[in-house]
Copies of this chain bind each other. A is one copy, B any other.
């Protein structure tokens, strides 16, 4: 096999690159939560990763506009690029809540959710690596199921955390803060699932 990458295959490489950036961001989120004393500096590092993702997304869109024949529906490439960007943005948004809302401690549930986000992003890398072989890959459907399962588990964790919040006797202002933080963490997992489902749709169409 020659090391020859047809132009249209570049998209799969781009997607792998962005998935790796998302994975890096998710790991930075876990670090962030472990070191809330330095949240402002750590948030800057996370913002840098977000900008890396923005740059890559712009490259995908530019490539898309230069390419006549795409490996699958043009619109789906656009949606995947957009959804990947959403995942990274939401990771940054979740972390930034701690700074914005003046939260200097972390809960066990927020840690659990951030670790689920890491796992989801790890699965996204394999998903994107297998995407090119969508017609034969046996790993691809497993990854989609796994991401859906992680989202469902995350939903249970965040719903339970919110239930406890509204049954505790902590101050109202703390309830408000944590309600918002759990929402962002849950939204991040939702965005991973949305992405996996778009990929599933592309696989179904091209089966």
- Interface 0/1 of A74-95, CB less than 8 Å to B: 0100000000000000000000
* Residues on the B chain within 8 Å of A75, using CB: 75
Nearest CB in chain B to that of A103: its residue: B166
Q: Looking at the assembled complex, report how far the CB atom of A56 sits from the nearest CB atom of chain B, in whole angstroms.
A: 16
Could you give 18 example pairs across A and B, Cβ below 8 Å?
A61-B201, A61-B204, A65-B204, A65-B205, A65-B207, A75-B75, A96-B159, A99-B163, A100-B163, A100-B166, A101-B162, A102-B166, A102-B167, A166-B173, A166-B177, A172-B173, A172-B176, A176-B176
Copies of this protein in the assembly total 3
Nearest CB in chain B to that of A162: its residue: B100
Q: Interface size of A by Cβ–Cβ distance < 8 Å?
A: 24
Known: A99-B163, A176-B179. 20 other contacts (CB 8 A): A61-B204, A62-B204, A65-B204, A65-B205, A65-B207, A75-B75, A96-B159, A100-B159, A100-B162, A100-B163, A100-B166, A101-B162, A102-B163, A102-B167, A166-B173, A172-B172, A172-B173, A172-B176, A175-B176, A176-B176
Most buried by B among A62, A75, A173, A177: A173
- Interface 0/1 of A144-174, CB less than 8 Å to B: 0000000000000001001100110000110
A175-B36 Cα distance, complex, nearest whole Å = 23
Nearest CB in chain B to that of A201: its residue: B61
* Residues on the B chain within 8 Å of A176, using CB: 172, 175-176, 179
